[in-house]
Amino acid sequence: MRHRSPALVAFVVKELRHILRDRQTLLILLLLPLAQVVLFGFALRTDVDDVRIAFVDPAPDAATLALRARFAGTGRFHVVAVSSTTAPLEPLFRRGAADVALVFEPGFASRLADGTPARLLLVADVADPNTGSLVQAYAQAVIAGYEAELGAAGRGVRIELRTRMRYNPTLESVNLFVPGLIALVLTLVSALMTAISLSREKERGTLEILLVSPLRPWQIIVGKVLPYLLLAFANAVTALLAAWLVFRVPFRGSVALLLGASVLYALVGLALGVLIAARTTSERAAMLGAMAGTMLPNALLSGMIFPIASLPGWLQAITVVVPARWFIVVSRGVMLQGVGLHRLWPELAVLGVMLVVLMAGAVRSFKARLA
């Protein structure tokens, strides 16, 4: 269509007014995403700042006390129990009162002086493998530091590891999550609300009235989704502001690129929402379909929280069709890595293809209902 028909404009205006009038939903749609970003930014952390350690030291000597003091001095570990046998360990762990335990053998200091390996048993609660591994890593770092200190005094060989943490020097997990949260927020508004609103009209029969009007199917779809697109955009902006102001998530790349990508992603979500509404027969099914088909995959299979590389092969294959997966590469690329269009165009292209395919499917579904 080359010109904007007045009917379409009037239609869009009517839809906008319709949404603005429903204050309750509007408030929810604007505030909920913001609340989510703030809440999850604070609460979703895989960093562990406070590790509870128990010591089993049957024969304390200068070395064991020195190492124990080292742990206590890190600020990350705090000692919850010291005993001379391993008996209390099992109940401590079962009750969740300790995360890790260090078991010394008698004669620790003398072995160190001899140069024969002094043995330590590091017992960690790895029910949660992720946190367990991390806690183990922290504990080993403390032990290694002690060992290095001893070694430096002696004449052992030392290979120093100089580490640089790129893109996220503070290792804050919020920097990992927030770029993905933006995606979740956009999905909520675009896919979910569109699916609900459209299927509600379908159920009420008002959609049929529209379908027999002079408006073409694509115009109806555009008119219906445009207000939600604006809403999604507003949400994206507020979410990004929250990320930047509240969580100090870096913004190393081009904001314009990120906003553009957000719009593209929101459009994909909208197209998906329209398709779901066109294909389901009731509002209830539409909601459930939207939930299952958009929110859950976008939250779990997009790499937002859980790395895609950790997924089994078959699930990794499925993530290819999850739009959020591609968007998150872009959002992290722009925010954390500071890369530009020349490196991110493949991901954007994938989103573009998805948009075209979904829109075509949606338009065809609506056309079919007239036949």
- Using CB under 8 A, which residues numbered 113 to 142 contact another protein? 113, 115-134, 136-138, 140-141
Q: Which of 12, 19, 112, 362 binds another protein (CB under 8 A)?
A: 112
Least spacing, CB of residue 97 vs another protein, in Å:
10
Residues of span 194-233 touching another protein by CB under 8 A? 196, 200
Residue 162 to residue 182: CA distance in whole angstroms: 34
Residues of span 321-340 touching another protein by CB under 8 A? 329, 332, 336-337, 339
According to DSSP, residue 117 is labeled P
Contact between 165 and 171 (Cβ < 8 Å): yes
Q: Which is nearer to another protein, 4 or 94 (CB)?
A: 94
Residue 348 to residue 364: CA distance in whole angstroms: 24
Report phi then psi at 353, rounded to 5: -60, -45
According to DSSP, residue 48 is labeled -
What residues contact residue 261 under an 8 Å CB cut-off, 6+ apart? Answer: 327, 330, 331, 334, 344, 348, 351
Site string for another protein, 148-187 (x = CB under 8 A): x-xx--xxxxxxxxxxxxxxxxxxxx-xx-----------
Q: Which of 34, 44, 79, 246 binds another protein (CB under 8 A)?
A: 44
Residues of span 4-43 touching another protein by CB under 8 A? 28, 32, 36, 39-40, 42-43
Site string for another protein, 263-302 (x = CB under 8 A): --------------------xxx-xx--x--------xx-
Site string for another protein, 299-318 (x = CB under 8 A): -xx---xxx-xxxx--x---
Which residue, among 169, 335, 338, 337, has the nearest Cα to 249 in the 3D structure?
Answer: 335
What residues contact residue 247 under an 8 Å CB cut-off, 6+ apart? Answer: 41, 174, 175, 178
Q: Which is nearer to another protein, 175 or 219 (CB)?
A: 175
Least spacing, CB of residue 303 vs another protein, in Å:
10
Residues of span 49-68 touching another protein by CB under 8 A? 49-51
Tokens describing residue 302? 């997009």
Residue 56 to residue 98: CA distance in whole angstroms: 13
